[in-house]
Amino acid sequence: MERLKIVVIGGVAAGPKAAARAKRCDQNAQVTLVEKGEWLSYGGCGLPYFLGAAVKEIKDLMSTSWEAVRSPQFFHEAKDIDVLLGWEALSINRKDKTVKVIDVGTKETKELVYDKLVLATGAEVLVPPIPGLDALGVFQLKNPGHALAMKEYLLNNEVANAIIIGGGLIGLETAEALANWGMEVTIVEMQNQIMPYLLDPELSLAFSTYLEQEDLNILTSTKVQKVLADDDGRVKGVETEQGFIACQVVLVSAGVRPNVKLAQEAGLAVEKGIIVNEYMETSDSDIYACGDCVVCEHIASGNQVYVPLGSTANKQGRIVGTNITGGRENSPGIMGTSIVKMFDWNAGRTGLSERDAKELGYDVVTAFVPGPDKAHFFPGKKLILVKLIADRKTGKLLGAQLIGPGDIARRLDVMVTAITLGATAHQVANLDLAYAPPFSPAMDTLINAANVVKNIIDGKAKNMSFQEFKAKLSDDNVIYIDLRTTEERKAKNIKARNQLHIPFEEIRARSTEIPKDKEIVVFCILSTRAFEAQVILNHLGFSNVSFVDAGIQFWPL
């Protein structure tokens, strides 16, 4: 029987996964993996952790769970896959079903014949047009070579100040790594917030405030205009719209874009990235694409989106490996789920942002609910803040975002599942989640957040955003009622023009002190008491009462 000839272009994540899966599905297949770089099958998301020493050796990012390094020899001996490392694919001849490749070093060329072709060409770093990026001490962080070069530079030069251009996940993780070296680190982000594709503005601001407490300097709505070098060609600082900042190392982390040149030149359908169907087929049914070079359908919106993630690349690679060997497995799309850890805080999101949901025409309801990640009486409890985004008409949950020092990963995964399956706030509020004091409160913060969504939709809860809260602090027509205890008030002072201190337990007895002709805003630390105070005051005849979303614990007031 003639062997199925499979050529896979791209050897980082999706490509090796597709190649390995294809061999598992068809041991007789002839699989060739082509990678133009010098590094094969590595965990790119681990590069900042190598810089920060959490990952001790660069080979650990290319090792299996049993510590075998995924080298060309490993692929040949263990998986019967031929690897052309250091070879670049130049062109695709779809008529003859061949790929022209060139040895990057020797310039030798040859043609590979395929029955099925896989494009896993990944993404390339976006390099902004900033003069001076060729100075010594300016780096990118896309592959192990970049990480090794940057680490060597840091070890052999006196570096006290670092600049990160870009406030996305890789930039932030690298900022933490460099701060742990003892450097003063400044993040320069041209958009008006850090993590613009991960968090909505309120949560981003709260997270930024925390990072500044960890001594990171954050400049948003700011562009780097020029990188300046000394007489030896080494970086000495950057010129920004807000002035000169001295530094001895710069990381350019302004995002990535899909590498689609090969696909475009072959005449395949491309828009934002390579277009594929649910089986990961391109516009040519014998050519598949997966990983950071493709666009995906967003499950919650139905739109084509570009969200490059290692997790997605591996799942898509596996599907492609199944399908090129005769399977018919579909890729259901993505939710854009992402998570990051910075110092002692975590942040994550899944589904639609509030802005996304509004642009799609939803009548959006949002709920901000803080709470502990374990039972409030259990040692080691830590706070998290949950934002849920829902459709007012149906109660269907559309998106979730979580931040804080507590455990968000498990809760984020619950929300991924719930939103993917089209769950409503009512359904999430009644999920039979695992409970024991070391793991969660009896009413998990996710359940509380879903109940708040329900209360808002039902008209029982009237919430106020913290931006509006801040904007009205000097409003003569607003009365603020601080429900905290006298001791709690010492931790954070709220300066409002008209403010009453009425501890929650006294709200019924002292309600006559509150004018009924004013707007009433009640607040506490985590909003639990505030919502109940709103209900009580409504019952007592106060019609214009609202509570502050999430209390005041997380907000920079």
Average of per-residue pLDDT across 541-548: 96
* 413 in any annotated domain: yes
Q: How far apart are the C-alpha atoms of 547 and 535, rounded to whole Å?
A: 10
CATH code for the domain of 481: 3.40.250.10
* 105 in any annotated domain: yes
Looking only at the bridges linking them, the beta strands covering 138-139 and 123-125 are unpaired
The reported pLDDT for the residue numbered 53 is 87
User: Do residues 91 and 169 both lie within one domain?
Assistant: no
User: Do residues 30 and 103 both lie within one domain?
Assistant: yes
Q: How many CB atoms lie within 10 A of CB 350?
A: 26
Which of 232, 254, 276 terminates a domain? The answer is 254
* 556 in any annotated domain: no
User: Do residues 235 and 175 both lie within one domain?
Assistant: yes
Q: How far apart are the C-alpha atoms of 348 and 353, rounded to whole Å?
A: 12
CATH code for the domain of 279: 3.50.50.60
User: Do residues 438 and 478 both lie within one domain?
Assistant: no
Q: Exactly one of 45, 247, 296, 524 is catalytic; which is it?
A: 45
CB 164 within 8 A of CB 176: no
Q: How many CB atoms lie within 10 A of CB 287?
A: 24
CB 112 within 8 A of CB 34: yes
Is the backbone of residue 182 left (phi > 0), alpha (psi -120 to 50) or beta? Answer: left
* 133 in any annotated domain: no
Which of 457, 489, 506 terminates a domain? The answer is 457
Which of 424, 457, 490 terminates a domain? The answer is 457
The reported pLDDT for the residue numbered 442 is 97
Confidence label for 207 from pLDDT (cuts 50, 70 and 90): very high
Confidence label for 1 from pLDDT (cuts 50, 70 and 90): low
Average of per-residue pLDDT across 440-467: 96
Nearest 5°: the CA angle 342, 408, 219 is 30
Residue 14: its H or E element: helix 14-25
- DSSP class of residue 61 equals G
Q: How far apart are the C-alpha atoms of 402 and 198, rounded to whole Å?
A: 10
Average of per-residue pLDDT across 69-79: 97
Q: How far apart are the C-alpha atoms of 274 and 293, rounded to whole Å?
A: 6
* 335 in any annotated domain: no
Per the annotation, the verdict on 45 as an active-site residue is yes
User: Do residues 147 and 243 both lie within one domain?
Assistant: yes
Please give the tally of structural domains in the chain: 4
* Domain of residue 196, residue span: 138-254
User: Do residues 166 and 205 both lie within one domain?
Assistant: yes
User: Do residues 23 and 98 both lie within one domain?
Assistant: yes
* 38 in any annotated domain: yes
Confidence label for 100 from pLDDT (cuts 50, 70 and 90): very high
* 553 in any annotated domain: no
* 45 in any annotated domain: yes
User: Do residues 276 and 358 both lie within one domain?
Assistant: no
User: Do residues 355 and 264 both lie within one domain?
Assistant: no
User: Do residues 219 and 367 both lie within one domain?
Assistant: no
The reported pLDDT for the residue numbered 557 is 81
- Tens of pLDDT, residue by residue over 264-313, are 999 999 999 999 999 999 999 999 999 999 999 999 999 999 999 999 99
Q: How far apart are the C-alpha atoms of 37 and 18, rounded to whole Å?
A: 18
pTM: 0.95
The alpha carbons of the chain give a radius of gyration, in whole angstroms, of: 27
User: Do residues 428 and 518 both lie within one domain?
Assistant: no
The reported pLDDT for the residue numbered 421 is 97
User: Do residues 420 and 469 both lie within one domain?
Assistant: no
